[in-house]
Amino acid sequence: MTTLEAPAAACPPRLPAQDDALAELLDVLAARHYAFVTVTPASHAHVLARAPGRRANDLRDILGWSLPFAPELVDPAILKLLLAADALDTCGDGTFRARYRVSSLDGTLFLHAAYPTSDKDAVFFGPDSYRFADLIRRELPALARPDAQVVDIGAGAGVGGIVTARLRPDVQVTLSDINPAALRLAGINARHAGVSAALAEGSNLDPVRGRIDVALANPPYIMDADGRDYRDGGDMHGARAAYDMATAALSRLAPGGAFLLYTGSPIIDGQDRLHEALRQLAGEHGATLRYRELDPDVFGEELANPAYVEVDRIAAVGAVLTMPA
């Protein structure tokens, strides 16, 4: 049986000391029933604007809302792990700010970038992560047979692959991303979740060899003037990244394989341009397409940007493209 070039290890590899500290931090937080749901950047900004200059009062403020905190606020065991992980910035007034956020999804915790996510290599997690996980839970059981080779393209914090591995421990998962910072956190998140996953650095499916039975993707879909990898979907009003991933997947899937896509699509004059492009792409490859809107209106604040002058709304969509057997 053909397998991927970098098969998932039976046990998680030994991580550098800072990564060990971050993995232990997640375990400690889980044992203390920490939970936080990450909102959109716009909602996050609104919450912080209610009390400008506020300092953190608890762990959710520190690792969820990215507020500065006095060191004496934190349990010494947690502060020790944050320092060992080099996960704190000093604010100049005796306070610290965490370099990461920790969010909860499906009973496990995920490390990702602190707010605001202004760095070009920031690791994304947000409302789209929850919708992506829900789409996987609904669609994957019918797509992946035992021993299937599953690749999460542009894995980011690893949500797609980790949800898959927890749902279907009988499949082999690879997390692929162009961003080494994302792969680092994805590996730590997978370790905390108790799942094995191979890590592959590169664009789309380029770093993955061998059979691919299911490809998953939650690509960026916003036209970002700063060109940040986790956010910029490229041309086609932000839909280019999704289209390119679909093209790459259909050229690599095994017979009967499937590409599961969650993304956002610009609706222009009532027409879903991404839907039309994927319909044509599926026809060219002899694939079938199932497609539907999951949320009719997301990131509405983006419509104020000049790049969106033609766009009515941005819809969250899910698509499944399946190759003939």
pLDDT of 263-272, one tens digit each?
999 999 999 9
Please report the pLDDT score of residue 14 as a whole number.
52
Per-residue pLDDT tens over the stretch 140-166: 999 999 999 999 999 999 999 999 999
Tell me: pLDDT of 15 over 80.
no
Tell me: pLDDT of 2 over 80.
no
**What are the beta bridge partners of residue 69?**
96
**What are the beta bridge partners of residue 253?**
212
Helix (H) or strand (E) run with residue 98 in it: strand 96-98
What is d(CA 146, CA 138) in angstroms, rounded to the nearest whole number? 17
Tell me: pLDDT of 23 over 60.
yes
**What tokens does 285 get?**
């490859």
Share of the chain above pLDDT 90, in %: 87
**What tokens does 9 get?**
């290890």
The distance of Cα 241 from the centroid of its chain, to the nearest Å, equals: 14
Please report the pLDDT score of residue 11 as a whole number.
45
Pairing mode, if any, of strands 288-295 and 313-322?
A: antiparallel
Q: Which residue has the tokens 């770093």?
A: 207
What is d(CA 294, CA 133) in angstroms, rounded to the nearest whole number? 12
223 pLDDT band, cuts 50/70/90, is confident
Tell me: pLDDT of 10 over 70.
no
Q: Shortest CA distance to 89 belongs to which of 58, 68, 75?
A: 68
Please report the pLDDT score of residue 229 as a whole number.
67
Please report the pLDDT score of residue 315 as a whole number.
97
Tell me: pLDDT of 216 over 80.
yes
pTM of the shown model = 0.92
Tell me: pLDDT of 93 over 80.
yes
**What tokens does 253 get?**
């899937």
148 compared with 222, residue with greater pLDDT? 148
121 pLDDT band, cuts 50/70/90, is confident
Mean pLDDT of the chain: 93
Coil, helix or strand for 62?
helix
Per-residue pLDDT tens over the stretch 51-69: 999 999 999 999 999 999 9
What is d(CA 134, CA 276) in angstroms, rounded to the nearest whole number? 24
Q: Which residue has the tokens 């969509």?
A: 317
Sequence-ordered list of residues with C-beta below 8 angstroms from that of 126, at least 6 positions apart, any chain: 38, 39, 40, 41
Per-residue pLDDT tens over the stretch 278-293: 999 999 999 999 999 9
Please report the pLDDT score of residue 34 as a whole number.
98
Please report the pLDDT score of residue 230 as a whole number.
67
* Domains assigned to the chain: 17-113 (no CATH), 127-322 (3.40.50.150)
